[in-house]
Amino acid sequence: MAHIYRQIDSTKTLRAELDSRNISMFNSIREIEDFKRNYNSLKEDILIQAQINLQKEIAQKSIKLESLKEDLKEHVISLEDEIKSQIHILETKVSDLNERLKNESFLTKVFIAIRRWQNDSKLNQLITNRDQRISRRTASIVQEVEGIQSELDQLIQNRVKIANDRSKNEFYELERTKKAIEELRTIIAGAKGEYAVEQELRKLPNNFYVINDYKLDFVRPIINKQTGEKIFSIQIDHLVVSPGGVFILETKNWSQKSIKSINLRSPIEQIQRSSYALFVFMNKNISINTHHWGSKQISLKNILVMTGATTTHKFQYVKVKELKELNVYLKYFDAIYSDNETKWLANTLLDYCD
């Protein structure tokens, strides 16, 4: 398996774009593809989950309501028994006082009559206000029962609307995420293509070294002698260092429609520009000044990797390869460096990378 260094540039760009939009649900390109494919199912799942949660809430409130009703019933029975006991006690007292009135002196009868009137008055109040007394002492439970019953009725009668309302925020986030992915489709396509290339490059032998997102900034610009352009920096999707040489890979994940409408000169010129600058830099700073390999000159080869649709166009100094052809082409070249030299060159290039 090849050695892989650094993160893919478009993946970093995509992560930054998603973070700036407060979208953190994706950890890979595959998860984004799954989201796009399952978008409608995800919407259905949100509504179904809201309905399930609502049904659970209805069930929980129903259980609580029945429990409160049972508590209320037991409380009423307890209060009725308490009042009956108090009535019985008062009736017994009144009866006893009536018996005493038959045998006592006049003055004593006056006091007994007053006591009988007091107890009789309490008894009448107790009997007359029995229901009111029970209502007053059970008011808090009754109020709670009525409140839960009202909530339950609302949930049952409006369950469809409530489930939809409770799903609105998640629907909004889902739609917002979908919109963001549509806006970032070019970056996503690039990341998807570069990821596919990286996975393919992993299959190369372990004397191959892959540096993703290879960047160099030049303190003094490199002058392209053919065009006169001053090159201050370069960025390469994948730099492959192998015994057969150094390969510059530019990845494009285009559809057939895109290929027809896009000028292929742009990525070709980008590769040629990077290749020229890297060739000058390497042979000035590595093969000559840094390491004594005699007459060995660092070999650079340029590849435009098409992970989507491809083209039959041919370009000078740049090979166009489909993903399935890539590794065969990379392994085709005879070794010009030993394994140790290849490793050293890869590490040296990595040290220079910004």
User: Average pLDDT in the 77-95 region?
Assistant: 82
Determine phi and psi for 202, rounding to 5 degrees.
-60, -25
Question: At 289, which amino acid appears?
Answer: N
pLDDT level of residue 289 (50, 70, 90 thresholds):
very low
Contact 210, 4 (CB under 8 A): yes
Q: How many residues does the chain have?
A: 354
Supply the pLDDT for residue 297. Answer: 67
Lowest-pLDDT range, 2-6, 34-38, 72-76?
72-76
Question: What was the pLDDT predicted at 335?
Answer: 92
What is the per-residue pLDDT for 277? 93
Confidence class for position 301, pLDDT limits 50, 70, 90? very high
**Distance between CA 170 and CA 30 in Å, rounded?**
22
pTM listed for this prediction: 0.68
If you average pLDDT over residues 12-31, what whole number do you get?
Answer: 91
Q: What angle do CA 294, 298, 300 make, to 5 degrees?
A: 165
Residue 312: pLDDT above 80? no
Q: Identify the pLDDT of residue 288.
A: 38
Alpha helices in the chain (DSSP H): 9-20, 29-37, 39-101, 106-128, 130-137, 139-157, 159-183, 185-201, 256-261, 265-285, 323-330, 339-352
The 3-state DSSP class for residue 32 equals: helix
Q: What does the DSSP 8-state code read for residue 6?
A: S
The tally of CA atoms less than 13 A away on the side-chain side of residue 28 is 5
**CA nearest neighbour of 273 among 230, 209, 329:** 230
Cβ burial, residue 168 (10 Å; 0-12/13-18/19+): exposed
Of the chain, the percentage scoring pLDDT greater than 70 comes to: 92
Q: Over 50: is that where the pLDDT of 218 sits?
A: yes
Q: Mind listing the pLDDT tens digit for each residue in 113-164?
A: 778 788 777 878 878 888 888 888 889 999 999 999 999 999 999 999 999 9
pLDDT, position 32? 93
pLDDT in the model for residue 20: 95
Q: Is the pLDDT of residue 296 over 80?
A: no
Give the least confident one: 72-81, 95-104, 186-195: 95-104
Decide if pLDDT at 107 tops 80: no
Is residue 69's pLDDT more than 70?
Answer: yes
What's the pLDDT at 96?
74
Query: Is the pLDDT assigned to residue 79 strictly greater than 60?
Result: yes
pLDDT at position 264 over 60: no
pLDDT category at 266 given cuts 50, 70, 90 is confident
